[in-house]
Amino acid sequence: MPIKVFAGLGSVEVDPWGFVLPFGLWVWVALLAFLLLLSVGSCFLSFRFSEKDFSDEGFAFVSITLRQSVWVDEGGWWWQRVVLGLWMLMTMVLTRSYEGNLMSLLAVRHLPQPYQTLRDVVDDPSVVMVWEKQGAPIQAVIDATSGIFYEVKKSEEQGRVKALPMYTFPAILEEVISKQKVILDYELVLTVLRSNHFSRTGRCDLYLGQERIVAHPLSLIGQKDSPLVLALSTWVISMTEAGLYVHWNSATIPNSSACNQVPTKITISSSLSFRQCWWLASVTLV
């Protein structure tokens, strides 16, 4: 029976910095670098080859980027028209791509599942790990002298490890959903917790991590050298290979598979708040 991470999905929120997400970091860096280079270069060439005022030359590229009108004198240099025309074409492609990606990002929102492995939990200092008191998993942590379990053991000094009886797990599910705590226990125990929560609330607020941290076998214990052990082992293997254990397990736990395929992306049609559009207000005021 594998041990897994049991965490909460939390609520869907819009990132107030979402307007920068349509482009990657290096796209923004390249755009700002080209904008600065063209503005400085245009100012320098205008100052070098003409005696007229060149104060507005550098701002022409900024105006084009912000989709503002630009005035070009008829007596200007030919290279000015060529550079401005190429910049207009490039910014048109970029702005169209930006608008399309931004609309998609505003409509599709993500349900984060940050804790997929024990390493993810250990590396997050804000979350508390809850283990079953006097259970085999917490005993493995206590006995650890190296590896990831030893790191969990050391994190107890920061108050990040709690050992609680299994019957108290339902009482802390709200803290798990709010991402204050995660539970680490056998997959069967966590499946029962999740199915009971769904049966009570009708919501899939909890998920199981993908990593099988460690697996402990389940078996029957019989008297040594007893002929019943061999016979029972044969029957148990046959039932397991036939899928009866999985079938009975699913049948005895109501709604055990209701939250197995929780979507990580949802489409929402709603109006944006002022907090989500704060950057638009700041640009307008400037």
Average pLDDT over residues 187-192: 87
Please give the pLDDT value at position 239.
85
For residue 209, with 0-12 CB atoms within 10 Å meaning exposed, 13-18 middle and 19 or more buried, which class applies? buried
Average pLDDT over residues 83-103: 78
Please give the pLDDT value at position 106.
67
Reduce the DSSP state of residue 106 to 3 states and report it: helix
Which residues on adjacent β-strands are paired with residue 161? 129
What the block records as the tokens of 77 is 């240099």
* Percentage, residues of the chain above pLDDT 70: 74
Reduce the DSSP state of residue 84 to 3 states and report it: helix
Backbone dihedral region of 207: left (phi > 0), alpha (psi from -120 to 50 degrees) or beta?
A: beta
Chain segment 249-282, per-residue pLDDT in tens: 777 777 777 777 776 655 555 555 555 555 555 5
What the block records as the tokens of 83 is 């550079």
Give this prediction's pTM. Answer: 0.59
pLDDT over 80 (residue 4): yes
